[in-house]
Amino acid sequence: MTSARKIEVRCPNCERAVTWDSGSHWKPFCSERCKLIDLGAWFQEERAIPGNEAAEQIPAGDHD
């Protein structure tokens, strides 16, 4: 018989252990609260994906 190996990760917000399986509804977060705290940080622009800002391009002929 094959034994299922449990994968455990840390919640990105509070560092609690989270078992990575179908029963973990908020993975990789430990709870809905931690998930919403993280989402709020993205909305507040406290987090961002590093990179160059895209230059705004205005098609020719669309100038006011």
pLDDT tens string 13-24: 999 999 999 888
**Would you say the pTM of this structure is higher than 0.75?**
no
User: At the topology level of CATH, where does 8-43 sit?
Assistant: Erythroid Transcription Factor GATA-1; Chain A (3.30.50)
Per-residue pLDDT of the chain in tens (64 residues, 90 and over written 9): 555 788 999 999 999 999 999 888 999 999 999 999 999 999 999 998 888 877 777 677 655 5
pLDDT (0 to 100) of residue 15 = 96
24: nearest Cα among 8, 13, 36, 37: 8
* Domain residue ranges of the chain, discontinuous segments joined by +: 8-43
pLDDT (0 to 100) of residue 2 = 54
